[in-house]
Amino acid sequence: MSEGLWPAAPEPRAAPGSLAAGPEPPGDPPPLPGDLVSQGRPLPGMQPLPGMQALAGMQPVPGQQARGELAAGPEPPGDPPPLPGDLVSQGRPMPGEQAPGEQPPGEPTAGPAGRRAPGGRRLALCALAIALVAAFAGGIAGYIAGASRSGLVPGFSLGTVPPALTNRPPASVAGIAARVLPSVVMIKVDGGQGTGSGFIIKGGYVITDNHVVTLDGTVRRASLRVVFNGGGAAAATLIGADPFSDIAVIRPRVSRRLPALTLGNSAGVEVGDPVIAFGSPLGLAGTVTSGIVSAVDRPVRPGSATGVTSETFINAIQTDAPINPGNSGGPLVNGQGQVIGVNAAIATLGSDGPAGQAGSIGLGFAIPINQARLIATEIIRTGRATHSVIGAVLNTGYRGHGAQILATARRGMPAVTPHGPAARAGLRPGDVIVSFGGHPVGSASALVAAIRSRNPGARVIVVFLRDGARHAAALTLGSAPS
């Protein structure tokens, strides 16, 4: 006999203490599992628990009556007792349901008398609903517990996204960059084989470094192309270049008006002033870096890319604003967005970068704009530039403090040019210049940089040592073509 199913043979007689209902009528199907109570028959071989009311078909405990029954005598034979709250088993159909004894068309018979057994099905549906709710609640509780253990917090939020900032103060780095960048260009030489930077000035000209557009200080026939900020490019013409100041001027071949930058006054630059550098380091156009002025009047003599000694001497502005290869020729601006220098050189500790150049270590140098303005103006006017001279040959091998004039002529060139600026000021071969224009001189390179930072014809005070004695003289600078 299979567990949970009734046997196919006729059912044995009722257990002692129950009413003898007799055998089932022939042909009646066995009751459905789980609906035994409504059929008025106890489970086979089982007795009701002592002291408890018998199930349907059994006598109640003396002195008590079955719950929900009237004290009117026993129920008619064969009728099962009503289940609590079950209107159908009491002979009254639920609204919209079939009356007892009736069967909807097409539905199987639910009991031995052809009656449906809605109570069992409802209990099953209730049990199923309770199980689903319990499973859902258990799943939610498990998810919350697991999320808590894993660090997840359901419903966590960082708040709403604030409105995006659209305006910047004009004096901020972002505000200055917005005004300056449209005038900064990338310069490509010979189809991009050499790349540098530049900036637009009055008249549609572009100032850049001589070493960006020439090789070893010598002008060569090269194709120049200017790439504007935000897109667009145009071929450019070389107007002129000066290897002594490392300044060059080119002009893009365009018909539209180009936005020009405002040139400042580098004479008023002080250590600690905020500065911003613009350019195209490593070909990355429109790069902006910021820092401060680290030093002024820093003598710099940058070498050429091929290692050949350059004739360039710069009395530079030193900055810690990051400057890298490709920044050359770009503008260095102050806190008002005015150009105070032209990026020209960096100091490095090695040569691990592109083309044997290392990156910025916070030691960048720019040509003061007052010197660049002078050279650029002369180039635009005449196509060439001149530089200041004192008419004396300096001893580059001198290791003492100051700049020494050669003691004797060299290669047929006199140490002091007759009737030149130095001779007229009373300087002689072997004199050591220790101050120029009120600034101390530490070496020959420093003196050359200081001389070239002045305009030809300028009058300066020179302090020099002769046989250990200190002397001062007024000197008017001469000029020589570059």
Catalytically annotated residues:
211, 246, 328
* Cα dihedral across residues 293, 295, 299, 301: positive or negative: negative
Which residues, in sequence order, are CB contacts of 409 under 8 Å at separation 6+? 415
In order, the DSSP letters of 25-57 are: PTTPPPPPTT-TGGGT-PPTT--PPTTS---TT
Element (H, E) at 126: helix 118-150
Q: How many residues does the chain have?
A: 482
Which residues, in sequence order, are CB contacts of 413 under 8 Å at separation 6+? 393
Number of C-beta neighbours around residue 248 at 10 A: 31
Provide the 8-state DSSP code for 312: -
* Cα dihedral across residues 37, 38, 42, 44: positive or negative: negative
Which residues, in sequence order, are CB contacts of 338 under 8 Å at separation 6+? 261, 262, 263, 264, 265
Whether the Cβ atoms of residue 364 and residue 322 lie closer than 8 Å to each other:
yes
Q: Give the integer Cα–Cα distance in Å for 429 and 447.
A: 16
